[in-house]
Amino acid sequence: MAHYASKIPRENFSCLTRLDHNRALAQVAEKAKADITHVKNVIIWGNHSGTQYPDVSFATVNGKPVKEVIPDEKYLHGEFLTTVQKRGAAIIAARKASSALSAAKAIKDHIRSWFLGTPENEWVSMGVLTPGNKYGIDENLCFSFPCKCKDFKYEIVNGLKWDEFSKGKIEATQKELQDERKDALGI
């Protein structure tokens, strides 16, 4: 859309990965037996699809790193990822209907964070058009990043370092988005 609506500022385009972000927060809170408001800085990298990468590498529960609170790498790299990635499909299969209320809440949360801002030292996941070559992601992909917000402006969090597992997951979701972009612009 941004490609064909070039008169609209690029920073006004975003996509909703907040639904996935909220689902990841809930999964961490449930596993950690913590209140969801005490889970901070979970990230959804990439696409709103089965290749998205829900990342807890920088997340905390009650101020402690998630990987200390949930020291189960097999869970964090397995069941946690697939539960977040496939939650929408699981809801549709179980209810025979979409999770419209969850999506509506995510839209509200997305706009609220974008408009009112994020608390100091906290970020949310937002799908935004990649500026330059941020984190090695192709320019102009609508890609989910960790963002800080203030005064209806967002800023991608800088300087996070990925481990090899994360790099592989992020490369896969970027490849899917590159293919989608190629298909969309090829019409």
Token readout for 31 is 């596993």
Q: Which distant-in-sequence residues (6+ apart) come within 8 Å of 147 by Cβ? A: 118, 123, 124, 125, 126, 128, 154, 155, 156, 157
Residue 48 annotated as catalytic: yes
Active-site residue identified among 21, 48, 77, 110: 48
- Fill in the DSSP letter of residue 121: T
Q: Tell the burial category of 158 from Cβ atoms under 10 Å away from its Cβ (0-12, 13-18, 19+).
A: exposed
Output phi, psi for 180, to 5 deg.
Answer: -65, -40
CA distance 14 to 17: 9
Output phi, psi for 84, to 5 deg.
Answer: -65, -45
Catalytic residue list: 48
